[in-house]
A and B are shown apart, each in its own frame.
Chain A
């Protein structure tokens, strides 16, 4: 249902997710986020290009990641959102809370110049 792969590009950790994020599979995303946001990288990105479905459990996990990024002072962002994920984030008014890029190239290039999330 959900496959996760972790990789690093310089000082950026990328969490590649493929499949559906729900109550069951969001725990895998959470584990990956906790691991990477507590590591020595400067930035953590979630590749959502292959996430075909996400519900409020998945969104809660992303928000937990955002909160942890503030605590650990890491840059954090998402990229590659598909229509379904984009629409639920927009509906929840979270598409302006997360830093979101279209492509990996753009995300990797621009994330070093962003600031860690300061909270609302």
Chain B
């Protein structure tokens, strides 16, 4: 059942990999509440997981003392997940996934984000770090329920 108004949840965690499953749980909860199918729920969990993993790996270079925030915004027509960090500014134009025919570890996170969301963008006006917005529209959902 859709929420009657955008619901905002903000979670702030340290950049410790052992905490990532908590964020996935939050994503799954809101994705289910938003009416998405089981496969879409998992896909959104992957997308947010990949984005937050990238923050840990690339923005903070594995430093577990950083912080990042996950905002969940539930609109009538879409769900948005916004990931904020206070690390060095990312250059979006430098982000690209590895070619799929290059079989090697790594380089798939941004590809999965692109596949599993209906859009992702950095807020260039956000000056305290990085702010990545992931969008999934509710109208395009599958019917495997």
Q: Hey, which bits of chain A sit against chain B, CB under 8 A?
A: 1, 20, 22-24, 53, 55-57, 59-61, 63-64, 67, 83-84, 87-88, 91-94, 97, 120
A55 touches B53 (CB 8 A): yes
Alpha-carbon separation in the docked complex, A120 to B100 (Å): 12
B21 touches A23 (CB 8 A): no
Q: Hey, which bits of chain B sit against chain A, CB under 8 A?
A: 16-18, 20-21, 24, 39, 42, 45-46, 49-50, 53, 56-57, 100-101, 103-109, 111-112, 115
Alpha-carbon separation in the docked complex, A53 to B50 (Å): 13
Q: A63-B105, A91-B115, A94-B103 are in contact. Are A57 and B53 (CB under 8 A)?
A: yes
A92 touches B20 (CB 8 A): no
- Chain B interface main SS type: helix
A residues less than 8 Å from B49 (CB atoms): 22, 55
In the complex, the chain B residue whose C-beta lies closest to that of A119 is B103
Alpha-carbon separation in the docked complex, A11 to B114 (Å): 42
A residues less than 8 Å from B46 (CB atoms): 53, 55, 88
